[in-house]
Amino acid sequence: MKKKLAIVMTAVCVMGSLLAGCGGSGASNGEKVYAVEAGSAGEEVAKERGYKINSVGSQADALMEVSSGTSDAAIIDLLMAGAMIGEGTSYPNLIHREELTEEEYGVGCRKGSDLASYINSVFAESYADGSMLETAKKYGVQEALMEQSASEFTASEDSDVAYIQGKGTLIVGITDFAPMDYQDENGEWIGFDADMARKVAEKLGVKAEFVEIDWDGKIMELESKNIDVVWNGMTLTDEVTSAMECTNAYCKNAQVVVLKAE
């Protein structure tokens, strides 16, 4: 089991003065190369700021780039940083010192799908009875958990919920992203998102099936029905909310810069 996440919100510093003395090759801000996951919120913010980027397959790959010295820094989710870098983690030589954004996580379903409404109702019920908080504590994300208001499921005429119940599986699109979705020593998918997806599947009376996807192709995977839901610490960006039917936000997050410790 990976180290429990401790959410420590740090003060935002001026980027130029911060990065000039931290990690990487010592290059100036404009010369630094930032490793980012393709299609991620980290890639989006890097492009907005005009940073030189190295797009890789996952946030875990971005950390490997920094650790090996092939990129000067990485931009990843704060929740992943808390689980993967620092003392007692996979990358004890890496640190984060700046939050570039404030974000919220949501679950993505097919546009017009009533599954989003169903998931909202499960969120509301599990938040009210305390089970959502207990799951969050299990993976150390309780400080990031957002309050869930009462919500009732409203079925649509062309019901995605009925389609999922008919085939008997809820196919969940994920990447390897601790502490939300990752594999234990037996190869079973665990994490806050994985556990909550299983809870929804149980309520639906179906089995949860986890499928690793190319994060950059998540919208296509949904529309083609290769998966039924994107549930992997997904930031609710304008692109995401315009292309998917999204649930209520359930976790707070930020994009952070990760560097080698001095």
How does pLDDT run along the chain (262 residues), one tens digit per residue? 433 333 333 333 333 333 333 333 344 455 899 999 999 999 999 999 999 999 999 999 999 999 999 999 999 999 999 889 998 899 999 999 889 999 999 999 999 999 999 999 999 999 999 999 999 999 999 999 999 999 999 999 999 999 999 999 999 999 999 999 999 999 999 999 999 999 999 999 999 999 999 999 999 999 999 999 999 999 999 999 999 999 999 999 999 999 999 7
Q: Give buried/exposed letters for 125-138 (b at 16+ CB in 10 A, else e).
A: bbbeeeebeebbeb
Distance separating alpha carbons of residues 70 and 67, to the nearest angstrom:
8
CATH of the domain at 20: 3.40.190
Same domain, 126 and 192: yes
Instruction: Give the three-class secondary structure for 82.
Output: helix
Hey, which residues does 34 pair with through a beta bridge?
53, 73
This prediction's pTM: 0.81
Same domain, 154 and 227: yes
Task: Specify the length of the chain in residues.
Answer: 262
Evaluate whether residue 168 is within a structural domain.
Answer: yes
Same domain, 68 and 158: no
pLDDT at 29: 53
Evaluate whether residue 53 is within a structural domain.
Answer: yes
In order of 51, 130, 142, 231, the CA distances from 62 in angstroms are 15, 35, 25, 20
Same domain, 28 and 41: yes
Evaluate whether residue 206 is within a structural domain.
Answer: yes
What is the four-CA torsion angle of 99, 119, 170, 36, rounded to 10 degrees? -10
Q: Which domain holds residue 127?
A: 104-252
3-state SS track over 107-174: EEECCCCCHHHHHHHHHHHHHHCCHHHHHHHHCCCHHHECCCCCCCCCCCCCCHHHHHHHHCEEEEEE
pLDDT at 14: 30
pLDDT at 262: 79
Same domain, 90 and 162: no
CATH of the domain at 244: 3.40.190.10
Evaluate whether residue 4 is within a structural domain.
Answer: no
Evaluate whether residue 6 is within a structural domain.
Answer: no
Same domain, 134 and 230: yes
Same domain, 21 and 69: yes
Domain count, the chain: 2
What is the crossing angle of helices 115-128 and 131-138, to 10°? 90
Distance separating alpha carbons of residues 202 and 195, to the nearest angstrom:
11
3-state SS track over 164-221: HHHHCEEEEEECCECCCEEECCCCCEECHHHHHHHHHHHHHCCEEEEEECCHHHHHHH
Same domain, 209 and 128: yes
